[in-house]
Amino acid sequence: MRESVAFSLNVPTPEDMRRLGAALGSALASGAPGVRLVGIEGDLGAGKTVFVSGVLAALGVAGSVRSPTYTLVEPYECPARTLYHLDLYRLADPQEVEALGVRDLMSGDAVLLVEWPERAGGALPPADLAVRITYMGDGDAGRVVGIEGRGPAGRDLAAALADAVKAQ
Ligand SMILES: Nc1ncnc2c1ncn2[C@@H]1O[C@H](COP(=O)(O)OP(=O)(O)OP(=O)(O)O)[C@@H](O)[C@H]1O
Ligand SMILES: [Mg+2]
């Protein structure tokens, strides 16, 4: 079996980014039981929080998403599933991840959506689903998003997401 399921797509506008996030949110709400960690990588202003707002919207969280820049973690207890939005940009030391109680957060069937996962070094397990947002060309035009699912749960989720995106 393949080690990972990966695809990439052009995401021209913030609205498209939100829609992509919402496709993930719907998949998480209706299945993907083994998925614990979604890593969202990309430079400052790439659109990570816009993506997260789409995920949350699909789970019924209305309004704009408050970035947990200083608190590092924001819980969302949605009917379908509990989500934790983490923003590790200001993490001073990977050891702080332990102090956040990430192990406990991941012990149930909650999902962690983590911006700047690379700041955690080895203190976070590998993501089940890795989302990588890159700027396309100059200016504020578009983005390319790469999605890679690893492990059985991550691969299934990436495959479901690829189908959902094709159908959009
Ligand atoms: N195709 C696009 N997808 C997502 N956002 C876009 C796109 N084009 C322009 N934008 C704009 O880029 C900005 C992305 O901001 P956002 O806060 O989501 O970035 P971020 O990756 O979370 O940054 P940070 O690392 O500071 O948390 C928004 O102002 C959004 O309107
Ligand atoms: Mg952000």
pLDDT grade, residue 90 (50/70/90)?
very high
What pLDDT, on a 0 to 100 scale, did the predictor assign at position 139? 62
Q: How many angstroms does the Cα of residue 51 sit away from the middle of ligand 1? A: 8
Residues 6+ apart with CB under 8 A from 166: none
Does residue 168 have a pLDDT over 90? no
What's the CA-to-centroid distance between 43 and ligand 2, angstroms? 9
14: Cβ below 6 Å to ligand 1? yes
Mean of pLDDT values over 8-28: 96
For ligand 1, atom 10, the nearest C-alpha belongs to 14
Q: Which domains does the chain have, with CATH numbers?
A: 4-167 (3.40.50.300)
- By alpha-carbon position, which residue is closest to atom 30 of ligand 1? 14
| Ligand number nearest to the C-alpha of 67 | 2
Mean pLDDT of 146-163: 97
Report the residue among 50, 89, 119, 144 best suited for mutation to probe ligand 1: largest number of ligand atoms under 8 A from its CB.
50
Where do runs of H (alpha helix) occur along the chain? 14-30, 48-58, 95-99, 102-105, 151-167
Among the bound ligands, name the one nearest to the CA of residue 136. Answer: 1
* Cα 68 to averaged position of ligand 2 atoms, centre (Å): 8
Give residue 27's pLDDT: 96
pLDDT tens-digit readout, 27-54? 999 988 899 999 999 999 999 999 999 9
Q: Which range (62-71, 123-132, 142-151) has the least confidence?
A: 62-71
Judged against a pLDDT cut of 70, whether residue 140 lies above it is answered with: no
Least confident of 8-12, 74-78, 102-106, 138-142: 138-142
Identify the residue whose C-alpha is closest to ligand 1 atom 26. Answer: 44
Query: Which two structure tokens, joined as six digits, stand for 99?
Result: 């102090």
**116 has a pLDDT exceeding 70:** yes
| Percent of residues, the chain, with pLDDT higher than 90 | 74
Output the CA–CA distances (angstroms, integers) from residue 37 to 13, 115, 156, in the order listed.
25, 11, 14
- Tell me what the pLDDT averaged over the chain comes to: 93
Residue 1 has pLDDT above 70, yes or no: no
Confirm if 35 and 153 have CB atoms less than 8 A apart.
yes
